[in-house]
A and B are shown apart, each in its own frame.
Chain A
Amino acid sequence: MKVLNSQKLAAGILVAACVLFLCPSQGRPEALSLEKALVRAGLSKERAQYIHARVAKRLNPENQNVLVKTLSSFRTREEVEIWSQKLLEGLAKHVPPPLLLNRLQVYAEDVKWAYTLSASLLKSTPPTYTVKALVDALYRTPDNNRALLERFFSQVQKHINQLNPHQLAQLADVAGLMCEAGATQQDLERMLRKITSSGKIREKELYRYEKRILQGIKKGFSFQEIMIRMDNPFTGEGTNSPGTTGTKLMQEMPEQFVPGGEMGVPTQIPTKKDKFHHNIP
């Protein structure tokens, strides 16, 4: 009897071992597949493990499978890097899983769009910050209007032969700010004509645009109102003639917002050696 029990026990162990051998992922299939999917998408093993560890704390296997499916749509490692940052951000901000998954899927499409556009404009692999700047511009655009930005940036190619990543990122910043303030396609193109009138992008003027539009938005002015204040100092052809709404509004503006005023904009433009960008009014 005792021998029989031992044989049954041994047989049971053998069967269990066979089951585990044949189905090694039985206990944790999704967890492994997410990590593998991240590695397959181009991330390092360490990075994939780190992200997986963070994800596993918040998302169940079913939700992790949604991430795996999203990952499979990416074409480059850069796209995955940007998307995974957004994933980590959502986890850190304790975004509810259903909302997190939904937004990450949308964000994945936005990242792919921005990557393709910036790679096309630069004719090379764009740096992460340029792609992110384009995504940001898209997010500032009402209804995520990709067509609006695509038309604007197609104008960039017409005007400028060589566009560096920084210029593209800053153009995206300005375009995004303008869209947030309510600018139209014509407004964007008008701005582009001004800053490229010399044949190449004038970074100094681009920088001034960015600072002034930001100030205008923060002070609650519409894009048209902001433009009225921006025309004169840059081109002398503004619509700010006596008696117009512009003049009236200008009188209501703080002194620092009067055309030609510096508004806290540094008079010295950053050098190539040590550029530092933090848009604080």
Chain B
Amino acid sequence: MLSAGLIFSSCAANMLRVQPEAEGVTLILDLKTCAHDVRVIGDFNQWDPEKGTMKCEDGLWTVGLPLQRGLYHYVFLVDGEIFVPPDQKTVPDAFGGRNLILRLEQ
């Protein structure tokens, strides 16, 4: 559990930042590689890619998520492929893969 603030992963290749907002969080993903379409799917948007479009700003892919308190599982979709940044806390997803975890306490 971390207090509000900027949080970076320690991975050199890919960086994920989870920025707390007044209501929810902003996910900021620095892929350091070319990608045309990046989305986030998870419990917070019913795993619907249409509801998880991320914007590219200055090379960073961002999305704001107005979330209530709770535990959320999620992954990224980079050009249609599931992507879980390394060096993040993950849990098995019951289908042989892993999900990222986000827990909000308000």
Contact = CB atoms under 8 A, between A and B. Distances in A.
B11 to A, nearest CB: 9
A214 B89 contact: yes
Given A271-B3, A277-B103, A89 B73 contact: yes
B102 to A, nearest CB: 5
- Chain A contact residues: over half helix, strand or loop, or mixed? helix
B105 interface: yes
Interface in A87-107: 88-93, 95, 99-100, 103, 106-107
B105 A275 contact: yes
B88 A280 contact: yes
B24 to A, nearest CB: 10
A169 B106 CA distance: 15
Q: Which of A91, A274, A275, A276 has the most CB of B within 10 A?
A: A276
A103 B1 contact: no
Chain B contact residues (Cβ within 8 angstroms of A): what range? 35 or more
Contact of A88 (B47, B93, B97): B47
B80 to A, nearest CB: 10
B101 A279 contact: yes
Contacts of A169: 71, 103
Given A129-B71, A274-B20, A281-B9, A140 B91 contact: yes
B3 A274 contact: yes
Interface in B49-105: 49, 69-71, 73, 75, 82, 87-89, 91-97, 99, 101-105
Given A170-B1, A277-B1, A92 B71 contact: no
Nearest to B97: A93
Contacts of B95: 89-90, 93, 95, 99-100, 103
Contacts of A210: 1
17 contacts: A85-B46, A89-B99, A93-B82, A107-B94, A129-B70, A130-B71, A132-B73, A133-B71, A139-B91, A214-B89, A274-B4, A276-B1, A276-B18, A278-B89, A279-B88, A279-B89, A281-B9
